[in-house]
Structure 1
Amino acid sequence: MTNHTVRPRSAGALAAVLAATALVTLGAAAPASASGPACPTDTIIDGSRLASISPECSFAGDQVNVGGVVMSIPNPGASVRASSAVAAGYQDVPDVVVYRAGNGGVAAVAGDQEFGSEGTLAALRSENSAVAASARPSAVSTLDSAPVVPGCDDRTAYKLSGEKWAGAYEWSYNNTGSPVTSGVARIQDALDTVTGGVTRCGSDVDLTATHRYLGTSTNSVDVTKAGGCSEGDDRSTIGWGELSSKYLATTCSWSQDGIIVSSDIKFNNRAPWWDNTGRACQGKTYDLQGTATHEAGHVFGLDHVAPATHQVMKPASDPCEYSQEKLGAGDAEGLKRLYG
């Protein structure tokens, strides 16, 4: 992200600053005036301040700090979501969503925490509810034939994020910094599992979800070290890079009116990975394909569920957890509702 100089965000705010420069400090809002709104002068805005900032402010190039996760502020009518898988022993990290309404207002949500004006938050809830309302009724019944398999006894064990793809997920792979030899193959297998509705429960489900691999690229993976989302480039890229030690991977998805337009996935290149080559998975090594299946679930609109459900979309992975390579009954049901 390019650094931006401290500046007011509207002509009205500029006039106010020139009139009372001594009152303005970095991190404070420019004082309001009769000619325009008070706009932030810093480029990283604390989420707790969003409710008091006028939607008339530009926010161009700005970011918002939501509980320590810094996220880019999208264009009006758009949202960006960060979703992460954590290593064993770490608590769930809730999705962080930053939304900008059509009128310019900004809201942010992290789990149960909400920041922004009630009007902007209501617009975000309405958008997410519209995707859920358009989902098909529960339809997966054949999976009940294998209830003894962990994760196959509860078709209700899913949660929808509120966004979905209207077409194919077209992605490229940036191998820079990869610590494994067959990463792209394992990622393709994971995406095939999700779009193909491949389960561990005795039968698969038919889905309209599709993905298309475009080959290798040098495109940036727009995911920050702290598990946030930088400014997207409208291209979906999967690759590697440094993440905080608790993260195995983070997915950032950019949406417009509830329709996902791009999704990037960054895998932590400092985590110990097993990619189904060489010796068997052992010790504290994590199954790349299983984690990639989890991230693919995020790409296609699934959110985290409780660990006890044994679904792919549970928040944390255990070392050598092969079961995440195939969908549980709840995972399949959630995807069926979106793409059935």
Structure 2
Amino acid sequence: MSRLKSHSRRRTRLLASSTLALALAFVTTNAVAADTKMATECPTARELSVTDVPEGTSATKCGLVGRILRADGVGVAIPEPGTGVSVAAISTTGETPELQVAVAADGTITYGKDSGATGTPSDESGTTGTSASALSACTDTANSTESWTEWGTYNWYVGDGGMPAGMSQSQAATSFADAINNITGSYNDCGLADEVGASASYQGTTTYEADIDSSGNCTAYDDRSTWDAGDLPSTTVAIACSFYWAVTYDLFEADVRFNTTDFDFTNDVTVGCLAEYDVRSVGTHEAGHVFGLGHVPVDITHAELTMYPSSFLCSEEARTLGYGDVLGLRKKY
């Protein structure tokens, strides 16, 4: 009887061991299958697009952090988990190049509302002045806001190297500060009071450069918000790159670069301006991006607003915010 019980116990243990082995094999097989599926779904193209990298792709499992992702002539280095980056450009083509990419703590990639969207070209881009068909700045309520906000003070620097309009670093700092103050002070001539709680502080010059390359890509951030000038794509007047925390949407760095390789700039449009862009107008537009304003529709009826996607030669109108620009800032601040 004892031998029969012992044999029964051995058989039970054998069955339990076999069941456990099968369960482990099932789990292992599924894990391998999942890894294989992930490997086959990871993009392999040398230059990535939003089509190659759909929302929900894992930046960490696919090894995408730091790789360049492009859309509409601009791009970003895919950020590390927990951070986001946005690039927005003023273009002479009448398009609205924008791309916003965030990577969650678990590595999942998401895109902003305008990423990869192209507007309709405008016949007014690159011409002198604005169109008579445009709404007046003080009646046009169009505005667009982005996901991030500068919850604290935007501390910024002027980079080294050449500056727009041939200015010195000191002169550039004065012009850039004026442009930034146009946003933080919601400067307008529509009689709208300043109810915007944004702030900025100039920190001096730096040997750092804006984290923007000549192809119009936002590169990895360096924890220093820098305004400078240099080479950009030939149809891009200026670019802003904004870096933020993906959970709190708090801005922690924003860089701006003017394209002095392909375009001329002036700090005073009243002195013999022929084919130059106003530094402070362009700067005010880029400062709008820094503080979370997006482009308004490319329709020429909105050309009187600062956040219109194109800039106009020999015009300083964008230094002064329109009604829609102020409404957008009030939404955020």
Structures share a fold, TM > 0.5? Answer: yes
Please list, as runs of the form range in 1=range in 2, the aligned pairs for 1:98-177 lying within 5 A after superposition. Answer: 98-108=101-111, 111=114, 113=116, 150-154=136-140, 156-177=141-162
Cα distance between partner residues in 1 of 2:116 and 2:279? 31
Identity of aligned residues (%): 30
Please list, as runs of the form range in 1=range in 2, the aligned pairs for 1:1-340 lying within 5 A after superposition. Answer: 37-38=38-39, 39-40=42-43, 44-51=47-54, 53-54=57-58, 56-87=61-92, 90-108=93-111, 111=114, 113=116, 150-154=136-140, 156-179=141-164, 180-181=166-167, 182-256=171-245, 257=247, 258-270=249-261, 271-276=263-268, 280-306=271-297, 307-309=300-302, 310-339=304-333
Q: Is the 8 A contact 1:95 1:110 kept in 2?
A: no
Cα distance between partner residues in 1 of 2:192 and 2:50? 45
Partner of 1:18: none
Deviation per CA, 1:91-135, whole angstroms, max 9, x where unpaired?
Answer: 122311112122212234583648xxxxxxxxxxxxxxxxxxxxx
Q: Is the 8 A contact 1:149 1:201 kept in 2?
A: no
Q: Which amino acid aligns with 1:152?
A: C
| TM-score, normalised relative to structure 2 | 0.74
Cα distance between partner residues in 2 of 1:221 and 1:247? 16
Cα distance between partner residues in 2 of 1:47 and 1:171? 31
Partner of 1:125: none
CA deviation after TM superposition for structure 1 residue 79, in Å: 1.1
Partner of 2:17: none
CA deviation after TM superposition for structure 1 residue 157, in Å: 1.4
Cα distance between partner residues in 1 of 2:157 and 2:203? 5
- Change in CA separation of 1:94 and 1:149 when aligned onto 2, cut-off 3 Å: closer
Matched residue of 2:243: which SS? strand
Q: Is the 8 A contact 2:158 2:228 kept in 1?
A: yes
Cα distance between partner residues in 2 of 1:80 and 1:281? 39
Cα distance between partner residues in 1 of 2:321 and 2:201? 20
Q: Is the 8 A contact 1:190 1:289 kept in 2?
A: yes
The number of equivalent residue pairs is 271
Matched residue of 2:69: which SS? strand
CA deviation after TM superposition for structure 1 residue 281, in Å: 4.7
For structure 1, the 5+ residue unaligned runs are 1-31, 115-147
Deviation per CA, 1:255-295, whole angstroms, max 9, x where unpaired?
Answer: 11221111000011121111129x71521111110110000
- Alpha-carbon RMSD across the aligned residues, in angstroms, is 2.5
CA deviation after TM superposition for structure 1 residue 43, in Å: 6.3
Cα distance between partner residues in 1 of 2:193 and 2:234? 35
Q: Is the 8 A contact 1:303 1:313 kept in 2?
A: yes
When Rg is computed on C-alpha atoms for both structures, the one with the higher figure is 2
CA deviation after TM superposition for structure 1 residue 64, in Å: 1.8
